[in-house]
Amino acid sequence: MTDSITLDPITIDSITSFSRPSIECSILRLDKLHPIVSGNKWFKLRYYIEEAIAHKASTIASFGGPYSNHLVALAYAAKQNNLKSIGYVRASKEDTLTPSLQEALAYGMHLEFIGRTNFQEIKNEILKTNQHRSINLSNTNNTDYKKGAIYFIDEGGYGLMGAKGAATILNTQTKDYNTKDYTTIIAAVGTGTMLAGLINAAEAHQHIIGIPVLKNENTIEDEIKSLLINKNTPFSLLHSYHLGGYAKTNPALFTFMNQLWTLEKIPTDIVYTGKLLLAVDSLLKENYFKEESKILVIHSGGLQGNRSLPLGTLLY
């Protein structure tokens, strides 16, 4: 995985408009890592792909929505590692093909549309019964996809291997990228895989805060804890910033994202990082953080969700 994809340098940039006289706020620009396998996607996928190759799988498969950063990243990473790929999509085959899915197709991914209504149940059944085994695909006559073992990854890279990869976000240090001095690390939460990795890798003095982007406060904490090395490691989840649920937006979010771009030249997306930075801005204004805090925001990359917006909604 590392050798097959050329990566660009990651930096930590100051968010000048967020900083206060007694509080420093910076952002880890994982979005700079790669234009397609963007941000945390590379970290979460790295060990899965290594294991798929070790298992001599011919194909790697996963799950996602019609604007999935994960599926696009997986399609590209699989192609670069000479693997076929399958994407099980939370949509019907009658739906208009999104730009994100068109991009995944361009990287050679075969798409299986399994609908929205029972997506989680179908996904869980596929994962339960087909790990590392061949399966029959319903919508293809391409026999290449029916040969050899298929290595499955859960949606968004969720799982122990994904958390192990995400832990290396904090374990990878360069002269422009050193996370050890920060007191607070804050990140968006989708499946919780990245946050679990950050918790596992954090220094004892660092507090990890997650901003869930879904209305799943009843389950996400347990899902994160199931991936922790030490189940009792403290962390915080702040559930008030999802704006109504996954990919839900409002005009205030667009205004904030455009202002952030104008002031800081930081591109964000409507699903994860836009809500994350909006939350951090709100928390700073509410004096949530202790004096002398050094805050590190994790830019997890991935702007696919913005493709669902009318042209001109965002300035970038």
**Residue listed under structure tokens 């995944």:** 104
| Helix (H), strand (E) counts: the chain | 9, 10
What are the E-state strand segments in the chain? 12-14, 24-29, 59-64, 84-89, 109-113, 150-152, 184-189, 207-212, 236-237, 294-299
Say what the pLDDT of residue 156 is. Answer: 96
The DSSP line for 197-250 is HHHHH--TT-EEEEEESSS-TTTHHHHHHTT-SSTT---EE--S-STTSTT---
Paired tokens of 165? 């990869």
236 neighbors 273 (Cβ within 8 angstroms): no
**Residue listed under structure tokens 């930081």:** 266
Closest CA to 274 of 288, 262, 260, 284: 260
Report phi then psi at 61, rounded to 5. Answer: -135, 150
Say what the pLDDT of residue 160 is. Answer: 96
Residue 189 neighbours by CB under 8 Å, 6+ apart = 195, 210, 211, 212, 213, 214, 220, 224, 237
Rounded CA-CA distance 272/277 in Å is 9
Say what the pLDDT of residue 176 is. Answer: 79
Q: What share of the chain is helix, strand, coil (3-state, %, to 5)?
A: 35, 15, 45
Say what the pLDDT of residue 2 is. Answer: 60
Say what the pLDDT of residue 145 is. Answer: 46
Which segments of the chain have a pLDDT < 50?
A: 132-146
pLDDT digits (tens, 9 = 90+) for 232-267: 999 999 999 999 999 999 999 999 999 999 999 999
pLDDT digits (tens, 9 = 90+) for 64-99: 999 999 999 999 999 999 999 999 999 999 999 999
Say what the pLDDT of residue 3 is. Answer: 76
Say what the pLDDT of residue 148 is. Answer: 63
Say what the pLDDT of residue 131 is. Answer: 55
Rounded CA-CA distance 129/218 in Å is 27
Say what the pLDDT of residue 129 is. Answer: 81
Rounded CA-CA distance 137/83 in Å is 17
Closest CA to 66 of 42, 95, 38, 37: 95
Three-state DSSP class for residue 16: coil
Three-state DSSP class for residue 47: helix
